[in-house]
Amino acid sequence: MTDHSSTSAPSTSLLERVQQIWFHETYRGYLIQGVLLVAILWVALSIAQNVSENLARQQIASGFGFLDTTSGFVISQRLVDYSETSSYGRALYVGFVNTLAVAIVGIVMATVLGFAIGIARLSSNWLLSRFATSYIELLRNVPLLLQIFFLYFGVLRTLPFPQEAFSIGQLIFLDNRGLHFPMLAYGADGLFLSVPELGRFNFAGGANVSPEYLSLLLALTLYTAAFIAEIVRAGIQSVPTGQIEAARALGLNRRKVLRFVVMPQALRVIIPPLTSQYLNLTKNSSLAVFIAYPELVSIAGITLNQTGQAIEVLSIAMIVYLTLSLLTSLAMNLYYARTEVAGK
Amino acid sequence: MSMPSRESSISPAAWMRANLFATPVDGAITVIMGGIIVMIAIPVIDWALLSAIWVGSDGSQCRVEGAGACWPFVTAKFNQFIFGRFPDEEQWRVISVFVLGGGAIAWLAWPNAPAKARIAVFLLMAFPFLAALLLAGGVLGLAPVETNLWGGMLITLVVAFVGIVASLPLGVLLALGRQSELPIVRLVCVGFIEFWRAVPLVIFLFMASNMLPLFFPAGVTVDKLVRALVAVALFSSAYMAEVVRGGLQAVPKGQFEAALSLGMGYWRAMVLIVLPQALRHVLPGIVNTFIGLFKDTSLVYVIGLFDMLGVITVNLTDPVWFSAQTAATGYVFVAFIFWIFCFAMSRYSVRLEENLGQSRGANSYASLR
- Given this model, what pLDDT does residue B368 score? 37
- Measure CA B152 to chain center: 15
In 3D space, the residue among B166, B289, B301, B213 whose CA is nearest the CA of residue A54 turns out to be B213
pLDDT value for B6:
53
Q: CB B214 to CB A51 under 8 A?
A: yes
Question: Per CATH, the architecture of A88-342 is what?
Answer: Orthogonal Bundle (1.10)
Each residue's pLDDT tens digit, A107-128: 999 999 999 999 999 888 888 9
Which residue, among B112, B170, B103, B108, has the nearest Cα to B130 in the 3D structure?
B103
Domain architecture of chain B: domains with CATH: 12-50 (no CATH), 78-86+145-359 (1.10.3720.10)
Q: Say whether pLDDT at A310 is over 90.
A: no
| Residue B8: pLDDT over 70 | no
Judged by average pLDDT, the poorest of A62-66, A126-130, B267-271 is A62-66
A310 and B210: CB-CB below 8 Å? yes
Query: Which B residues in the span 169-208 are in contact with A, Cβ-Cβ below 8 Å?
Result: 181-185, 188, 194-195, 197-200, 202-203, 206-207
- CA dist B101 and B131 (Å) reads 9
Give the per-residue pLDDT at B327: 85
Q: What is the ipTM, given to two decimal places?
A: 0.86
* C-alpha torsion sign, points B279, B285, B288, B289: negative
Is pLDDT of B352 > 60?
Answer: yes
Domain layout of chain A by residue ranges = 2-56, 88-342
- Quick check: A150 and B210 CB within 8 A? no
Q: Where are the alpha helices (DSSP H) in A206-342?
A: 211-237, 241-249, 254-256, 263-284, 296-307, 310-342
Average pLDDT, chain B: 84
Tell me the pLDDT tens digit for each residue of B215-245. Answer: 888 777 788 888 889 999 999 999 999 999 9
Q: Is A258 on the interface with B (CB under 8 A)?
A: no
pLDDT at A210: 87
Residue A207, min C-alpha distance to chain B (Å): 27
Lowest-confidence range among A318-322, B19-23, B237-241? B19-23
Q: Is the pLDDT of residue B362 over 50?
A: no
**Span B25-34, pLDDT tens digits:** 888 888 888 8
* Cα B87 to Cα B160: distance, rounded to the nearest angstrom: 22
pLDDT of the residue at A105 = 93
- Summarize the confidence of residues A25-49 as an average pLDDT: 86
Range B4-12 average pLDDT: 64
Instruction: Give the rounded percent of residues in chain B with a pLDDT score beyond 90.
Output: 20
pLDDT at B276 over 90: no
Contact predicate A51/B215, CB 8 Å: yes
Of B280, B278, B240, B286, which Cα lies nearest the Cα of B256? B278
| Closest residue in chain A to residue B290, using alpha carbons only | A141
- What does the pLDDT look like over B121-158, one tens digit per residue? 888 888 888 888 788 877 777 777 787 888 888 999 99
pLDDT-wise least confident of A209-213, B35-39, B317-321: B317-321
Which of left, alpha, beta for A161 (phi over 0: left; psi -120 to 50: alpha)?
Answer: beta
Segment A42-60 shows an average pLDDT of 84
Residue pLDDT, tens place only, B80-127: 888 888 888 778 888 888 888 888 888 888 878 788 888 888 888 888
Query: For the residues B273-289, what does the mean pLDDT come to?
Result: 87
CA A160, CA A164: separation in Å to the nearest integer? 6
CB B279 within 8 A of CB B248: no
